[in-house]
Each structure stands twice: as C-alpha cells, then as structure tokens.
Amino acid sequence: MAGVIHGDGTRAVRAGLPEPLKYEPTLPGPVFAAHFHLPGEPTGPYTYGRDENPTWTHLERAIGELETPGGKPAETVVFASGMAAISAVLFSQLKTGDVVVLPSDGYQALPLVRERLEAYGIEVRTAPTGGDAQLSVLEGAKLLWIETPSNPGLDVCDIRRLVAAAHDGGALVAVDNTLATPLGQRPLELGADFSVASDTKGMTGHGDILLGHVTCHDAELAASVRRWRKVVGAIPGPMEAWLAHRSLSTLQLRVDRQCANALTLARTLAGRDDVTGLRYPGLPEDPSHELATRQMRRFGSVVSFVLPDRERAERFLDALRLVDDATSFGGVRSTAERRGRWGGDAVPDGFIRFSVGAEDPEDLVADVLRALDESAEKAV
Ligand SMILES: *Cc1c(COP(=O)(O)O)cnc(C)c1O
C-alpha cells in the first residue's frame, strides 16, 4: 500500500524486491555479465559490467529503502568494500586546496587515506569524535567526515549539531554508519549529505563478503560518486551483491538479537572489577548513552573494554570457546580481538573489541565469565 511505512522487520524482508513476475523468483539470481546486448545507441540502463548491473540495482534499491523509509527519494551506490565507498566520497568531492575534517579516532585505515589526500594537496584536519570536538576545526572546510559510534572507541557525537554547523559554513557532511547500520541510525534523516558504510560488517552479518555503499538524497552528489566507481572500477561482484541482498532479509532479526546480546554482555562486564574502560552506547551508565538515545534506534553489536594488560587480554581471548579471535565485527558469530595488535588505534594494551553475535545470551555470558576467571587464575 502506497504511503504506508512498515516496521523494520517487514521492510528488511521485502527491501528492494522487484514487482512479482509470474514464474520468476522472488529475488532474481546474480547476473554475471561483462557486457549486455546493446544494438544502436549505447544508452542504459545496462551497457557494460563496470557501469551498472541488475543485481546491484536490486541491492541499491534495498539499501535505499532501509536508509530512508518513506522519506525523500535517495540514491544508493554499492562498492567492492567499505574503503571503496569511503574513498569514492572523499576523492569525488575534494580537490587540491580544499579542507577536509576527519575524526582522529576513526577507522584505522583513515590515516592511510589521509596520506593520499595530503599528497593531492588537500588539507586534512582531525579532532576526536567525543565532545563534538570536530566543531572546533570546521572553519573553511569543504567536507566533514563523521564516524559515530566510532570504531573501536565507541564514542558518539551529535550528528544534528555537527551537520548544522557544517552546513552553516558551506561544508558537506558524510557519516560512516558502519557500526549502527540503517536500523540503528539514519544519518540522512539527521541531516547528513552522505550515509556511507562498510557492509562487510553488520549489514551483511555473516563474515563472508566485503561490500560498501553510499546513499544520498542529492542526485548530483550521487552521480559524482557513481562516476567515481566507474573511473576506479571499485565494483562489487554480482555474487557478493546478491548474497548481501539475501542477507538483508534477516537484518532486523540479526541486529535485534545481537544488540540485546551486546547489552547483556555489557551489563555482565560492568559487574567485574577486572574490567575497566567499558563502553557500550546502549548501557544507561555509558557516557554517550543520553546522546546516543537521541539519534540512535539500536546501539550496535560492539562492546569494548580494557583488561589489566596485554598478557591477560591474550589469555582471555585464548580461553574463549564460543568467541573467535578475529577482526571485523557485526557477524552472527561472536568475535573478539586485542585491538592494540594492529598498532593503528590509540588504545591500551589490554583493550578488547568484542563483536557480539547471535548465540544464546546465557551461553555467551557463561563463556565470557569462564574465560575471564581462567585468564585471571593463570596470572602469577
Ligand atoms: C570495516 C570498516 C571500514 C572499512 O570497510 P571494508 O569493508 O573493510 O573496506 C570502514 N569504516 C568502519 C567504521 C569500519 O568498521
């Protein structure tokens, strides 16, 4: 029914499905094509495989419906990875002499992007996510890049407030929404110009594909991002795009279960005196909770905390049986890692980033408590 805005679960299971066609599948399979039959003038929709693909089109519609339910029309462009999506926004919008503001505590590959931007004569300023500190370096910026909640520190900034200040000064705003997914937070409704994400994480949720997307309302901005994809060729494979679309149907089930489990785990960890620096925006006593509740609808599947030292953290990870020691997050199988092992984040040696999966909460909590106790005992 036109005009009806359905709930998140309904929208997730139906997102991007084409009109029913007799004898056709509900979600058409992946289209593997380098080129399409194209007699006469080379006009779209489908000409060459680096430009467009019907499997991407279905996925882009699906993501668009989740990013802007019942709202203004939006366009989504899917990419080979989250980094491809991030680079597409930054490099399609910025040119020599421009100023861009990045978070100083954002995704660990941002410093690599910064090197590239600076090599092209773009001025890069950084400030922390917490306390809306990016406001203080906005003057004269062309683009503001926000990551909230930040990975891995889980700080939150006020998207509406930062957008208002940036727009006042004529800057565009992009939000890396990877951690929240569109079911947790909708940056475009909070005023941002670009909602960007690594769909490698919670969006697809099975830890088996890399993918990214950019969604925006403005058709010209969308076109420039789309053109960038064609130029650098950072295109998703049709199989990955189709798997991602299939995964979206369970997005609400997965995210709800994982967020509930994350809160349960955070509450459990809050009761331990060997755990410090506990962060989860959904925890009422978290410093970001009040702000998070104003702009988020679900608080994500990542919990971070600090164990006394590196050795204790390593013993803890080793003792876990239901939680794999692996990077990335947002998957249905819990993973955790000692984030300091990468060297890219300003975190203590015992800092653990815990991605909470869809296991039964009592099993997960029991495993974590046992691993905490065992790893404490072995210390002499
Ligand atoms: C993982 C991640 C990225 C990069 O995504 P890839 O799909 O690995 O390229 C970007 N931003 C955040 C917040 C991430 O967690």
| 150: phi then psi, degrees, rounded to nearest 5 | -80, 150
Q: Identify which of 157, 194, 198, 208 to mutate to test ligand 1's pocket (most ligand atoms within 8 A of the CB).
A: 198
| pLDDT recorded at residue 5 | 82
Q: Is 253 exposed, middle or buried (0-12, 13-18, 19+ CB in 10 A)?
A: middle
Question: What one-character DSSP code corresponds to residue 212?
Answer: E
Pick the CATH number of 8-248 from 3.20.20.80, 3.40.640.10, 3.30.870.10, 3.40.50.300: 3.40.640.10
Measured CA to CA, the distance from residue 210 to residue 244 in angstroms comes to: 9
| pLDDT recorded at residue 378 | 63
Q: What is the CB < 6 Å shell around ligand 1?
A: 81-83, 86, 107, 147, 151, 176, 178-179, 198, 200-201, 210, 212
Strand partners, 179: none
Q: Which residue has the higher pLDDT, 380 or 176?
A: 176
Report whether pLDDT(300) > 50: yes
Q: Give the pLDDT mean for 96-125.
A: 97
| pLDDT recorded at residue 71 | 73
222-281, pLDDT tens digit by residue? 999 999 999 999 999 999 999 999 999 999 999 999 999 999 999 999 999 999 999 999
Q: Which of 290, 268, 283 has the alpha carbon at shortest distance from 364?
A: 268
| pLDDT recorded at residue 380 | 52
55-73, pLDDT tens digit by residue? 999 999 999 999 998 878 8
6-58, pLDDT tens digit by residue? 999 999 999 999 999 999 999 999 999 999 999 999 998 999 999 999 999 99
Indicate which residue's Cα is closest to atom 7 of ligand 1: 82
Q: Ligand 1 mean position to 347 CA, how many Å? A: 18
Q: What are the residue ranges of CATH 3.40.640.10 in the chain?
A: 8-248
Q: Give the pLDDT mean for 134-155.
A: 97
Report whether pLDDT(1) > 60: no
Evaluated on CA atoms 307, 313, 317, 319, the torsion sign reads negative
Q: Give the pLDDT mean for 169-184.
A: 98
Q: Ligand 1 mean position to 355 CA, how many Å? A: 14
Kindly state the helix (H) or strand (E) to which residue 214 belongs, with its residue range: strand 212-216
Q: What are the residue ranges of CATH 3.90.1150.10 in the chain?
A: 251-377
Q: Ligand 1 mean position to 236 CA, how many Å? A: 15
333-360, pLDDT tens digit by residue? 999 999 999 988 889 999 999 999 999 9
Q: Ligand 1 mean position to 85 CA, how many Å? A: 9
Measured CA to CA, the distance from residue 102 to residue 15 in angstroms comes to: 32
Report whether pLDDT(379) > 70: no
Domain 251-377, classified CATH 3.90.1150.10, yes or no:
yes
Q: Confidence class of residue 299 from pLDDT cuts 50, 70 and 90? A: very high
| pLDDT recorded at residue 278 | 98
| 368: phi then psi, degrees, rounded to nearest 5 | -65, -45
Question: What one-character DSSP code corresponds to residue 135?
Answer: G
Q: Which residues, 6+ apart, have CB-to-CB distance to 149 below 8 Å?
A: 129, 155, 156, 179, 180, 281, 288, 292, 299, 300, 302
| pLDDT recorded at residue 271 | 96
Q: Residue holding tokens 């955790």?
A: 336
Q: Give the pLDDT mean for 351-377.
A: 97
| pLDDT recorded at residue 255 | 98
Residue type at position 53: N
Q: Concatenated DSSP letters for 20-76?
A: P-TTS-SSPPP---SB----SS--SSSSBTTT--HHHHHHHHHHHHHHSTTSS--EE
Q: Which of 314, 311, 199, 303 has the alpha carbon at shortest distance from 258?
A: 303
